[in-house]
Amino acid sequence: MIGMDTLLLVGGMALVTFGIRYVLLPFSGRIRLSSGVQRALAFVPPAVLTAIIVPMALMPNGETIEIAWSNPYLIGALATAVIGWLGKRLLLTIVGGMGVFLAWKWILMAGWIGQ
Amino acid sequence: MPAYTKKSEFFRGARDSLPLVIGAIPFGIIFGTLSGSAGLSVAGTMGMSLFVFAGSAQFIAMGLVAAGTAWPMIVLTTFVVNFRHLLYTATLLPHLQNLPRRWQAILAFGLTDETFAVAVGRWRKGDASPHKHWYQLGSMVYMYTNWNLCTLIGIVAGRMLQDIAGWGLDFAMVAAFIGMVMPYLKDRPNYCAVMVAGTAALLFYGLPHKMGLIAASLAGICAGVMADALMRQRLAAARGRQKQ
């Protein structure tokens, strides 16, 4: 993809993304959020992030759900959650989870665990 | 009592974003790396990181480019995938509404999942610092610089290391997002929200144009609200019994 199409693609994506992130702000003076809505918004980050993560971890090929030792994304995700639960340190969680994922991938490649 | 200056807020925002910056490094590199084989030009790849600045949407768009999808469909999919950011702006509305328009536009441009997660914690802290927007700016500038640098490294690396795509660097995003969810798992309504959002994401995965992401997010939010209401009701009932 080159030239005009790239320009339209990137321009369109940029416009749409900025639009979504900005559109409420000019009207903010006239928007009053009820306490019910504010309570609901508090669930936004965990719900959205989980909805992104779970398919990535359980369906790495994008087609079937793989609950198996041979799925390093699942093992890595579970390890990340455990580290996060125990340590409560974000950096440790990310680096540790990544380490377990890579180690598990390596173990699978070495053939220590049957497919 | 520490004094809050613009500079101290800016650097604190950057510092608090460090774990997420590190988490974004492999993700940004793999984006740059894969772009070549997906058929996205260097200008298109860099352009996305510079002007769109939305990691997961950029990945999905790249996949669609590889599949030969027409640009209007990719832009539509981007709209659906990034629609969640409307909820982020809504959440920050009470804090951003009194800022000058220029500030609003800049902060809106950089309102990624990561910067939102970091900044919302700062805005909700009780202190009266008048420079909290500098904290959010620090976070977004750090994330933005890093994201574009990593995209560039990925573009270069992708042309030198052919098999880097198979390393599984995309797991970094999963790890970073899990780390961001953990602090929310402190009460039952949040557990409900997460459980339902995760299950629904699997159920709705097949919906066209990644619509499943929005459906699952909404299902999770609804579950959280209902569990929250139920707990309040029980609490009120328990108090009622105590009074009698």
In this predicted structure, the answer to whether residue A2 has a pLDDT above a threshold of 60 is no
pLDDT of residue B165: 64
pLDDT of residue B3: 76
The nearest CA of chain B is from the CA of A112 a distance in Å of 19
- CB distance from A9 to chain B under 8 Å? yes
Cα B134 from Cα B136, distance rounded (Å): 5
The pTM score is 0.78
Written as tens digits, the pLDDT of chain B (244 aa) is 467 899 999 999 999 999 999 988 888 888 888 788 778 999 999 999 999 999 888 988 887 787 777 898 889 888 888 888 988 999 899 899 989 999 999 999 999 999 999 999 999 898 989 999 999 999 999 999 999 999 999 999 877 776 766 677 778 878 888 988 998 898 999 999 999 999 999 999 988 767 888 889 899 999 999 999 999 999 999 888 877 6
pLDDT of residue B1: 47
- CB distance from A46 to chain B under 8 Å? yes
In this predicted structure, the answer to whether residue A27 has a pLDDT above a threshold of 90 is no
pLDDT of residue A1: 45
Q: Which residue's entry shows tokens 């959010």?
A: B136
pLDDT of residue B244: 65
Quote the longest CA-to-CA distance of chain B. Answer: 76
- CB distance from B55 to chain A under 8 Å? no
Round the average pLDDT of chain A to a whole number and report it.
88
Instruction: Say if CB B219 and CB B196 are below 8 A apart.
Output: yes
- CB distance from B105 to chain A under 8 Å? yes
Smallest CA–CA distance from B85 into chain A, residue: A21
pLDDT of residue B207: 86
Phi, psi of B125 (to 5 degrees): -70, 145
Q: How many residues does this entry show for chain A?
A: 115
Per the model's pLDDT, the better-predicted residue between A45 and A11 turns out to be A11
pLDDT of residue B66: 77
CB contact under 8 A, B184 and A46: yes
Q: Which residue's entry shows tokens 């990340």?
A: A80
Q: What is the DSSP string of B8-53?
A: HHHHHHHHHTHHHHHHHHHHHHHHHHHHHHHT--HHHHHHIIIII-
CB contact under 8 A, B193 and A55: no
- CB distance from B148 to chain A under 8 Å? no
CB contact under 8 A, B75 and A16: yes
Least CB–CB distance from A40: residue in B94, B180, B221: B221
- CB distance from A109 to chain B under 8 Å? no
The tens digit of pLDDT for each residue in A63-99 reads 899 999 999 999 999 999 999 999 878 888 988 999 9
Smallest CA–CA distance from B81 into chain A, residue: A17
Least CB–CB distance from A24: residue in B53, B93, B198: B93
Q: For chain A, give the secondary structure using H, E and C.
A: CCCHHHHHHHHHHHHHHHHHHHCCHHHHHHCCCCHHHHHHHCCHHHHHHHHHHHHHHHCCCCCCCCCCCCCHHHHHHHHHHHHHHHHCCHHHHHHHHHHHHHHHHHHHHHCCCCC
CB contact under 8 A, B51 and A91: no
- B-facing residues of A in 59-98 (CB < 8 A) are 59, 65, 72-73, 76-77, 80-81, 84-85, 88, 90-91, 93-95, 97-98
The nearest CA of chain B is from the CA of A103 a distance in Å of 11
